[in-house]
């Protein structure tokens, strides 16, 4: 008999891939129902002040335009901040769409035109006259740095720890060290631009019931948000989101199109679709512009003696959005003297929002560029410098890592890349008329786990169905959880169905932070274990059961059967168990909770090392990332294909962050100026060359029962500094502002 094929570790293609590429998969804006109305949002054209007059009469006179909602005619809503606070809300007072006449930021939604067609609604929006009284505002982070202050602490701080306490005597140690490096780093605002635009279709079911197709990273998050604000029963609000066309953090929080769609549907007692257009994608959430200063020092043998890392990030006037920016250096490098500082500046902008490896990709840009500088100062190879300062433990918190195979990332990455062919001097490598540079950097990201629930059902036809409210934002969640479930029960992949993206299903938190496989995968696993036990207990009691005297350890689940380990000719099929159960399905449902007691003693993180080759044309200033390799240690890799794809996506984003991506601000207007994909630059196919991924073997029995750490963000973290370091190696120019513009290299 052929060995039974296990699924975990197999490079399975996305189970929903065909549906997506053939356009069969429905996104939140694709649900046509009879009588569906279309909403178009009106956004503020000023940055701060008050609306003094709204005239909606011209719009309302157009046949087919049903209603124009503004703060003047919106329904009365929840009072308390807490009712507007979603699972990802930072401390403060969440933004309330159409609350009153106050304008808090440029692009704020101030009205919704509802019409029989999208085009009519959009036309109607041009007919609404708004008058404002403008007030003074400030959107320039650099100008306001004297006002930087400590962040407020709130619930979100649990997943976003504040900086570690200072250690030793930074100033003294720094001054006394022979090698010192200090620099300032900056990146501006970046906006989420997933392919799928934000859309919500609210189906008005009557009796206070709503079915909502929402672009979200958390169906339960949107459900609670809607129920709390509109005073509905949780059970009457169902949020569905099976397919998401990219999110990357943008849909961690409910966005205003959800609010507006639900509000209009409830008021008009009709189904309403609200879609944002590409320009409106720049009117909520963004990666905050951040200023960083580093001062690192070392002995001439390369041992880092002191590290000071200060970050000043942007936040809004109404919430304290925070990121983990300055905690990483000391998690990696065991300097005895550290001073880590994190501050916020309030500006007249919308609250920033997590964007793929929030904080981590920001902080590591400064940290790993500074380490590179230190390598030149001490005349030590950059990779060697990392190895000299390699720490097995997390010295920032004085505890071991649950696992850390970063050394292998360095070694295997360097080997495959050919790092030893690098000549140390800047400007010493050429190819034709181009300068060639090799750069490397370290990546680190947290490996978290949250509680989640899953339900597992053996159906009457002997198949497995697993249910969870979790979304799949394009990461491969569906495929990976199906693999985990199949292996737990010993079934073929085609006999397992994972149903998800629905708030009616068992609880899952928002999808993000690279914690979804550890969180929902673990829930699927415990539900699978419970179902096995239940099947086994039924099998034992069957008439003439071949497993009647066996215990669970003495059997094996394979091929949809329970086999006796000692005699593989004896087995009971799942279908026979269903029959013994009176032909009824067998169902279990289990909560998985991270074992905090065990985890608390360890730091848990993924690590990576990125190696990059650039070619720089000095006459044109053009930079090409000709080759890049990222070696990743992320625990067990459930699916090497989907995981590789996550890392590649992160690496491409790293190229984008280093060389392309930025939202341009006009501080006089308080406005983002390049709100479109023509002027918001991202890499295209022609920018992407030879990318490679290595998964280093890493066994972790502490992080969770699956041994997984997550791969959603780690691919991005090390790329921007590796590229900046390669550019320095190629040109001798250290550019600390991202993206690196071609004119800075001329």
Instruction: Tell me the catalytic residues.
Output: 713
Q: What are 39's strand-pairing partners?
A: 114, 274
- Measured between its terminal Cα atoms, the distance across the chain in Å is 67
Candidates 607, 219, 162; CA nearest to 408 is 607
Smallest gap from residue 469 Cβ to ligand MOS (A):
16
Residues that bind ligand MOS (CB under 6 A): 217, 248-249, 252, 354-356, 358, 512-513
Q: What residues pair up with 430 in beta bridges, in sequence order?
A: 435
DSSP letters of 394-428?
ETTTTEEBS---HHHHHHHHHHHHTGGG--SSTT-
CB of 589 to ligand MOS, least distance (A): 26
* 154 vs 168 by CB, closer to ligand MOS: 154
Nearest-approach distance from CB 252 to ligand MOS, in angstroms:
5
C-beta closer to ligand MOS: residue 90 or 513: 513
Q: Which is nearer to ligand MOS, 47 or 217 (CB)?
A: 217
Nearest to 289 by CA among 657, 623, 744: 657
Give 193's contacts (C-beta < 8 A, 6+ positions apart): 278, 281, 677, 680, 682
Choose among 508, 452, 592: nearest CA to 221: 508
Going by C-beta distance under 8 Å and a sequence separation of 6 or more, which residues neighbour residue 720? 361, 364, 365, 441, 654, 657, 658, 738
Least Å distance, CB 513 to ligand MOS, is: 4
Of 263 and 716, nearer to ligand MOS (C-beta) is 716
Least distance in angstroms from the C-beta of 396 to ligand MOS: 22
Minimum gap (Å) between residue 514 Cβ and ligand MOS: 7
How many angstroms separate the CA atoms of 29 and 469, rounded? 20
Residues whose CB falls within 8 Å of the CB of residue 431, separated by 6 or more in sequence, listed in order: 615
Tell me the C-alpha distance between 358 and 267, whole Å: 37
CB 331 within 8 A of CB 603: yes
Dist. CA 396–CA 740, nearest whole Å: 31
Shortest separation between residue 510's beta carbon and ligand MOS, angstroms: 8
Q: Give the long-range contacts of residues 152-160, CB within 8 A, separation 24 or more.
A: 152/91, 152/92, 152/320, 153/91, 154/89, 154/90, 154/91, 154/92, 154/320, 155/89, 155/91, 156/88, 156/89, 156/90, 156/91, 156/322, 157/91, 157/322, 159/448, 159/513, 160/322, 160/323, 160/324, 160/359
- Name the token pair of 361: 């990709």
Q: How far, in Å, are 86, 231, 242, 274, 607 from residue 30 at the CA level?
A: 25, 27, 12, 11, 39
CB of 358 to ligand MOS, least distance (A): 5
Nearest partner of 520 among 706, 371, 674, 673, judged by Cα:
706
| Closest distance of CB 416 from ligand MOS, Å | 28
Of the candidates 697, 702, 715, 570, the one whose C-alpha atom is nearest the C-alpha of residue 655 is 715
Q: Nearer to ligand MOS by C-beta: 216 or 217?
A: 217
Minimum CB distance to ligand MOS smaller for 446 or for 662: 446
Residues across the chain: 746
What stretches of 498-585 show up as alpha helix (H) in DSSP? 516, 522-541, 574-580
Nearer Cβ to ligand MOS (139/475): 475
């Amino acid at each position: 008999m052929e060995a039974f094929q296990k699924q975990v570790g197999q490079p399975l293609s996305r189970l929903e891939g065909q549906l997506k590429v053939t356009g069969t998969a429905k996104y939140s804006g694709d649900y046509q129902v009879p009588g569906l109305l279309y909403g178009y949002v009106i956004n503020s054209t000023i940055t701060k002040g008050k609306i003094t007059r709204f005239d909606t009469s011209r719009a309302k006179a157009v046949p087919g335009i049903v209603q124009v909602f503004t703060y003047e005619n919106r329904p009365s809503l929840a009072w308390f901040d807490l009712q507007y606070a979603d699972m990802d809300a930072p401390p403060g007072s969440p933004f309330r769409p159409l609350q009153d006449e106050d304008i808090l930021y440029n692009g704020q939604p101030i009205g919704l035109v509802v019409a029989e067609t999208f085009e009519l609604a959009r036309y109607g929006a041009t007919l609404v006259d708004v008058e404002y009284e403008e007030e003074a505002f400030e959107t320039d982070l650099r100008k306001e740095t004297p006002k930087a202050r400590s962040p407020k602490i709130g619930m979100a701080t649990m997943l976003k720890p504040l900086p570690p306490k200072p250690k030793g005597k930074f100033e003294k140690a720094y001054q006394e060290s022979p090698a010192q490096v200090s620099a300032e780093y900056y990146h501006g605002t970046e906006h989420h631009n997933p392919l799928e635009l934000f859309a919500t279709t609210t189906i008005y079911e009557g009796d206070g019931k709503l079915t909502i197709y929402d672009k979200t990273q958390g169906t339960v998050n949107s459900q609670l948000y809607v129920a709390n604000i509109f005073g509905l029963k949780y059970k009457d609000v169902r949020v569905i989101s099976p397919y998401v066309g990219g999110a990357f953090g943008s849909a961690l929080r409910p966005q205003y199109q959800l609010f507006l769609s639900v509000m209009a549907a409830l008021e008009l007692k009709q189904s309403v679709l609200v879609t944002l257009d590409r320009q409106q994608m720049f009117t909520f959430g963004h990666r905050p512009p951040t200023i960083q200063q580093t001062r690192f020092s070392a002995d001439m043998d390369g041992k880092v003696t002191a590290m000071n890392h200060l970050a000043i990030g942007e936040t809004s006037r109404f919430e304290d959005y925070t990121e983990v920016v300055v905690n990483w250096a000391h998690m990696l490098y065991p300097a005895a003297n550290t001073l880590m500082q994190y501050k916020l500046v309030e500006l007249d902008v919308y609250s920033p929002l997590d964007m793929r490896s929030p904080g981590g990709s920001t902080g590591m840009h400064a940290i790993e560029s500074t380490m590179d500088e230190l390598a030149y100062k001490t005349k030590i190879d950059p990779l060697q410098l990392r190895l000299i300062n390699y720490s097995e433990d997390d010295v920032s918190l004085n505890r071991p890592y649950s696992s850390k195979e970063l050394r292998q990332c360095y070694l295997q990455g360097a080997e495959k890349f050919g790092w030893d062919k690098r000549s140390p001097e800047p400007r010493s490598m050429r190819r034709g008329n181009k300068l060639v540079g090799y750069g490397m950097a370290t990546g680190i990201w947290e490996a978290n786990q949250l509680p989640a629930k899953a339900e597992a059902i053996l159906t009457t036809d002997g198949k497995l169905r697993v249910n969870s409210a979790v979304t799949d934002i394009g990461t491969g969640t569906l495929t990976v959880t199906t693999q985990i479930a199949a292996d737990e029960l010993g079934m073929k992949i085609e006999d397992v169905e994972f149903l998800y993206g629905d708030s009616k299903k068992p609880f899952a938190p928002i999808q993000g932070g690279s914690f979804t496989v550890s969180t929902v995968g673990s829930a699927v696993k415990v539900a699978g274990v419970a179902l096995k036990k239940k099947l086994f207990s039924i099998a034992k009691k069957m008439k003439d059961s071949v497993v009647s005297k066996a215990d669970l350890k003495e059997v094996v689940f394979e091929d949809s059967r329970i086999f006796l380990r000692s005699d593989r000719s004896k087995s009971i099929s799942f279908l026979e168990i269903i029959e013994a159960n009176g032909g009824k399905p067998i169902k279990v449902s289990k909560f998985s909770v991270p074992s905090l007691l065990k985890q608390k003693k360890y730091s848990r993180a993924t690590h990576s090392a990125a190696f990059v080759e650039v070619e720089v044309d000095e006459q044109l200033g053009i930079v090409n990332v000709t080759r890049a390799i990222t070696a990743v240690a992320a625990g067990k890799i459930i699916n090497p294909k989907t995981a590789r794809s996550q890392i590649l996506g992160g690496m491409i984003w790293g190229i984008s962050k280093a060389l392309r991506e930025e939202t341009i601000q006009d501080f006089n207007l308080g406005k983002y100026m390049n709100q479109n994909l023509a002027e918001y630059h991202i890499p295209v196919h022609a920018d992407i060359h030879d990318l490679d991924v290595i998964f280093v073997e890493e066994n972790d029995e502490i992080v969770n029962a699956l041994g997984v750490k997550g791969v959603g963000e780690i691919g991005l973290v090390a790329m921007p500094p590796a590229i900046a370091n390669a550019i320095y190696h190629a040109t001798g120019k250290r550019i600390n502002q991202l993206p690196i513009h071609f004119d800075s290299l001329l």
